Chains A and B, each alone.
Chain A
Amino acid sequence: MSVFTHRELPGAHIITPTSKRLDASVAVDFRSKALAIIEVSHLPLVLDLAQVEFIDSSGLGVFVSLMKAVDGRIALCNVGKPVMQLVTLTRMDKILAIVTDEAAALHKVGAAP
């Protein structure tokens, strides 16, 4: 079973994790599969976290890894409170673009129509 669903729009990838918990037990698999997608088509990335209730530092590390892979052109949307708490604690909110929804995320990475 895949840990996320993926859609490729003309100007961006949209990856939606399907696990409620993005922890160290799924992080390696998530990272490698997401990087493989980006490698094939080097577009900006939207991470839609609507289904994610919890991430740990390994999950956060995946976000940073993906951010590097798309040269910083990444936006997170539908970010829940527990996820936001970790992002804020580690100050990653200073570098990760976090917006409300998918439309705003697409706009943020320059892929809005």
Chain B
Amino acid sequence: MSQLRTLILQPAARLAELTATGEQVQAFLAQSALEESARHLLELGVVEALSNVMQYAFQTPEAQETASIRLLMADHGDYVEVVLSDNGEPIPAGALQNAPLFDSDPDASDLPSLPEGGFGLGIIAACADSVDYQSGPGGNHLTLIQRNG
């Protein structure tokens, strides 16, 4: 029976924390049994979600003062579960479900039209086998589950 392995991080709500937090996520996932591509994709999704929270969830000085971000990662052996919780502004309703699917090729002949951003939610939506987002009085909770194999 595999042993549960967990990582709990509480980064400050500022973008300067992103790289160090991402490195810890990467190191944790490197020890999981997830396939390489699944591991990279999950790491990417977690970083996108963290970046989103750090940049957009706490826009006012008051919100900054009471900001709380908590990242829980649990390696269950046959799957990895990630729960990102925060007490800031939620992702607008439906935005994650309606995120871009990357289902059409960009048009290289029209350089100015190429997107330089707006990929984040689409990546979060595509980064794991299961993606769930709940928002309420208890805060915002993004749960990602990536299974092994």
Using a CB–CB cutoff of 8 Å, the interface residues on chain A facing chain B are 19, 21, 23-26, 53-54, 56-58, 60-62, 64-65, 67-68, 71-72, 81-82, 85-86, 89-92, 94-95
Contacts and interface: CB of A to CB of B under 8 A. Distances in A.
- Per DSSP, chain A at the interface is helix
Interface of B: 15-19, 22-23, 26, 36-37, 40-41, 43-44, 47-48, 51, 54-55, 102, 104-108, 111-112, 114-117, 119-120, 122-123, 126
A25 B15 contact: yes
A22 to B, nearest CB: 10
A89 B123 contact: yes
Nearest to B23: A21
B51 A67 contact: no
Given A24-B18, A72-B108, A90-B119, A95 B126 contact: no
A68 B111 CA distance: 6
B108 A56 contact: no
